[in-house]
């Protein structure tokens, strides 16, 4: 068991090995997110379609930066939302209106991020798409 898994352990000194291990934990979290959360599946499919569109439309490097930011924004929001939901379910497995409100607020963050990303997608891919169909 590492210090990451043992909250009672003291704060360890800096260790490159522990920093590398933190990437393993983060990767495990992303894997769980992608495997277990159905909404995350949508957040995998949408970027795949956007990547195909971006390649087809030959978007600029500057446009790719916006696309990467938009995709990351949604994934970060989904990860935070999922972590909040998991924690809330652990704290209060039975229905609790306060917990429900917390979960709804977190889900609202994902919705806001998704809307912002869709707008970025339209602004970024729209003009090259219109030129492409001419």
Q: How many domains does the chain have?
A: 1
- Radius of gyration (Cα) for the chain, nearest Å? 19
Domain region containing 109: 38-133
How many other CB atoms are found less than 10 A from the CB of residue 24? 11
Position 78 confidence tier, pLDDT thresholds 50, 70, 90: very high
Residue 30 lies in a domain: no
Dist. CA 33–CA 104, nearest whole Å: 18
Residue 2 lies in a domain: no
Residue 11 lies in a domain: no
- 3 or 132: which carries more pLDDT confidence? 132
The answer, yes or no, to whether residue 72 has pLDDT greater than 90, is: yes
Residue 6 lies in a domain: no
CATH of the domain at 102: 1.10.287.3610
The per-residue pLDDT for 1 is 46
The per-residue pLDDT for 5 is 59
Residue with tokens 């087809």: 56
Structure tokens at 31: 């894997």
Q: What is the pTM of this model?
A: 0.81
- The 10s digit of each residue's pLDDT in 118-127 is 999 999 999 9
The answer, yes or no, to whether residue 112 has pLDDT greater than 80, is: yes
Handedness of CA 54, 76, 65, 21 (dihedral sign): negative
Which whole-number Å values give the CA distances from 134 to 43, 56, 131, in the listed order? 30, 15, 5
Tell me which residue of 18, 121, 4, 21 sits closest to 63, measured CA to CA: 121
Percent residues over pLDDT 90 in the chain: 75
């Amino acid at each position: 068991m590492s210090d990451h898994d043992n909250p009672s352990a003291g704060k360890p000194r800096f260790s490159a090995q522990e920093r590398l291990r933190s990437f393993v934990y983060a990767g495990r979290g992303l894997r769980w997110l992608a495997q277990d959360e159905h909404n995350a599946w949508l957040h995998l499919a949408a970027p795949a379609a956007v990547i195909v569109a971006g390649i087809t439309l030959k978007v600029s490097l500057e446009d790719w930066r916006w696309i990467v930011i938009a995709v990351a924004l949604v994934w970060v929001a989904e990860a935070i939302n999922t972590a909040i939901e998991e924690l809330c379910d652990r704290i209060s497995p039975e229905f609790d209106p306060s917990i429900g409100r917390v979960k709804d607020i977190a889900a609202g963050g994902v919705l806001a991020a998704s809307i912002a990303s869709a707008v970025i997608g339209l602004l970024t891919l729209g003009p090259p798409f219109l030129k492409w169909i001419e």
